[in-house]
Structure 1
Amino acid sequence: MSYSILLVDDDEVNHDIAKTMLGESHNYFSAHNGEEALALFHERKYDAILLDVVMPGMNGYEVCKAIRSDISNSDTPVLFVSSKDCIEDKLEGFKAGGDDYITKPFDADELSFRIDRLVKFSSEIDTLKVNCEAAEEVTLTAITSCSELGLCLEFIENSYQCNTLADLSSAILAVCRNLDLNASVQLGLLGEFRDFCNFGVINPLESELLKKGRESKTVINIEKRSFFNSAYCSLLIKNMPIDDDEKYGRFNDILALVVRGADARLKSLETNIQAIQAKNKGLRELSQVASKDLEDIELIFKNYNQSCQELVETLIFDVEDSIVSFGMSEAQEQTLRETLDGAKEDLQKIQEHSEDMSATFNDFFIKLDKLID
């Protein structure tokens, strides 16, 4: 395999030796001091750098540190070449950022092996970096998607607590605000629809577009504007992220779920309202029947009381008219009259009690009618 190799050594002979050992298949670039090496380094990217340690001016360690400080190509493999074999020199090379260290004299196979290993290692590092960047991007996307999906799930959960159009619209618009979206929404129950928005007011044209979109029951995308529609709900987004395909796709899915959730809640509310209305209708009809029956009973009872009153008065008159023929003493006559008067008073109390009961029933039906309404 052909490599691009930067040879850095103050001795031209060492350049020739390295080229001979590595062969003519590679592209070589020669520098004879540190300054020249850095100048060549910044001109292009190399597969490997053979760097002599002992040089006039900048030594190899200083050159390597300068290479590692370059943000663009700081990962270029560096192989130190030196006649020094002590551990301190090798440690100094690794501290400077070197990837390998070979001591003179060395043979061609060892040099070729070291170069191949460094290039392969560098390639694997580049692959890992690319994979890591891709993994980070996927992870970030997954985290973002989970967060956005969490908003959708939170809305669906909260929607079960919404019992009015205003409550449900607030929950929908809260999702849109958290997604930095400008939204208008049209919601309806029992054929009556209302408009809501999270900025300003809805103009008549937008309201008409929401109505037309709702009747279509589909998703309509027109550049940055998108309509998400169902039978009970129509949502207009004015600033969809059309420049970000991935984000645009996520938002489409999330907002479609939000509208479907809102539609389901509105259907449930409408069903409950219709059930309550049917129950109230039955109660109202029952109240009307009971009230009519009570009026009939009250009339019958009044007639009965009137008859009883007339009967008692006739009885008292007849008794008083016949007292003389009974041959009773004055005390007996007085006792009899008091008994008759007491019976008359008792009858009047019974009549008054029945009137109180009638008033109580009338009050009950009045309250029942108000409750139903």
Structure 2
Amino acid sequence: MPYSILLVDDDEVNHDIAMTMLGETHSYVSAFNGEDALALFSERKYDAVLLDVVMPGMNGYEVCQAIRNASSHNDTPVLFVSSKDCIDDKLEGFKAGGDDYITKPFDADELAFRIERLVKYSNEIDTLKVNCEAAEEVTMTAITSCSELGLCLEFIENTYRCNTLSELSTAILALCQNLNLKASVQLGLLGEFRDFSNFGVINPLERELLKKGRESKTVINIEKRSFFNSAYCSLLVKNMPTDDEEKYGRFNDILALVVRGANARLKSLESNVQAIQAKNQGLKELSQIASKDLESIEHIFRHYNESCQELIERLIFDIEESMLTFGFSDAQERTIRETLDGAKDDLQQIQAHSEDMSTTFNDFFIKLDKLID
């Protein structure tokens, strides 16, 4: 496989030797000092740099350090070439950022093998970098998706604590706000619908579109505007992220799930309200029946009291007439009269208690009717 190689050596003969050993399949650019090498390096990307250590001016270590500090292509493989075989020299090369070190003299196979290995490792590293960047992007997407899904799950959990249209609309619009979405929502119970928004007043056209969308029970996308609809809930989002296809898809899924969750809660609330209304209707009918029964009882009591009153008065009259023929003394007559007056008072008190009881029952049924209504 042909490579582009930057040859850096102050001796022209060494350039010819390296090109002869590596063969004509590769392309070569020659530099005879450090300054020229860096200038050529900045102009393009090379597959490898073959770098002599001992040169006048900048030595090979200094050139390698400059390559590693460059703004671009600073990961290009560098193979040091030197006649020095000391371990300290090799360590110096690695400290400078070199990838390999070959000592003179060397044969063609060794040089070709070293170059081939460096380029192969460099390509593998580039592939790993690309894979890491892709993995990082996937990871960030997954984290973001988990965060967004967490908001959705939190919303579904919160809906169970929402018992009014206002509470449910607040939960929906708060989720949209967390996603940086401008949203309006139309919610209804028992055929009556109300509008809510997190960015201002809903205009008449939007209100009509929400109604039409709700009747369609589908998702409608119009550029940046999207309608998510169900029987009890219609959601309008005005700034969907259409420039980010993946995010746009996630938001479509999340908001559709949010509307389904809101619709389920509203349906449940409506069933509860209908059950309460049916129960109240039963109580109201029972109250009406009890009120009528109370009226009948009150009528019977009143008739009974009147009869008792008439009976006592007739008894008193008859006794008074009889006393004229019995020959009672004045003291005896007073005793009998006091006894009769006492019985009459007791009867009046009983009648008064009966009237109090009737008033209490009337008050109870009035309060019950108000509570049911």
**Length-normalised TM-score, structure 1:** 0.97
Question: Alignment partner of 1:170: what SS?
Answer: helix
Question: Alignment partner of 1:359: what SS?
Answer: helix
The 5 Å alignment of 1:1-373 reads 1-373=1-373
Q: Whole-Å Cα distance in 2 between the matches of residues 285 and 332 of structure 1?
A: 58
Q: Whole-Å Cα distance in 1 between the matches of residues 285 and 75 of structure 2?
A: 88
Q: Whole-Å Cα distance in 1 between the matches of residues 354 and 9 of structure 2?
A: 126
Q: Whole-Å Cα distance in 2 between the matches of residues 346 and 361 of structure 1?
A: 23
Q: Whole-Å Cα distance in 1 between the matches of residues 233 and 71 of structure 2?
A: 54
1:93-122 C-alpha deviation (Å, 9 max, x unpaired): 111111111111222222222112111111
Q: Whole-Å Cα distance in 1 between the matches of residues 200 and 332 of structure 2?
A: 95
Question: Alignment partner of 1:361: what SS?
Answer: helix
Match for 2:156: what amino acid? Answer: I
Q: Whole-Å Cα distance in 2 between the matches of residues 295 and 72 of structure 1?
A: 100
1:121-144 C-alpha deviation (Å, 9 max, x unpaired): 111111110010001100110111
Match for 1:354: what amino acid? Answer: S
Match for 1:254: what amino acid? Answer: I
**Bigger shift: residues 83-92 or 228-237:** 83-92
- Percent sequence identity over aligned pairs: 84
Which structure 1 residue ranges, 4+ long, deviate > 6 Å from structure 2?
none
Match for 2:250: what amino acid? Answer: R
1:159-207 C-alpha deviation (Å, 9 max, x unpaired): 1211221211111111111111111111111111111111121111111
How far is 1:371 from its partner? Answer: 0.4
Indicate the RMSD between aligned Cα atoms, in angstroms: 1.2
Q: Whole-Å Cα distance in 2 between the matches of residues 49 and 360 of structure 1?
A: 107
Question: Alignment partner of 1:42: what SS?
Answer: helix
Question: Alignment partner of 1:54: what SS?
Answer: coil
Q: Which ranges in structure 2 are unaligned for 5 or more consecutive residues?
A: none
Q: Whole-Å Cα distance in 1 between the matches of residues 69 and 223 of structure 2?
A: 46
Aligned residue-pair number = 373
1:321-344 C-alpha deviation (Å, 9 max, x unpaired): 112333433333322222221111
Match for 1:17: what amino acid? Answer: I
How far is 1:71 from its partner? Answer: 2.8
**Bigger shift: residues 311-320 or 334-343:** 334-343
**Bigger shift: residues 9-18 or 317-326:** 317-326
Match for 1:239: what amino acid? Answer: N
**Bigger shift: residues 320-329 or 287-296:** 320-329
1:268-317 C-alpha deviation (Å, 9 max, x unpaired): 11111111111111111111110011011101100001101110111111
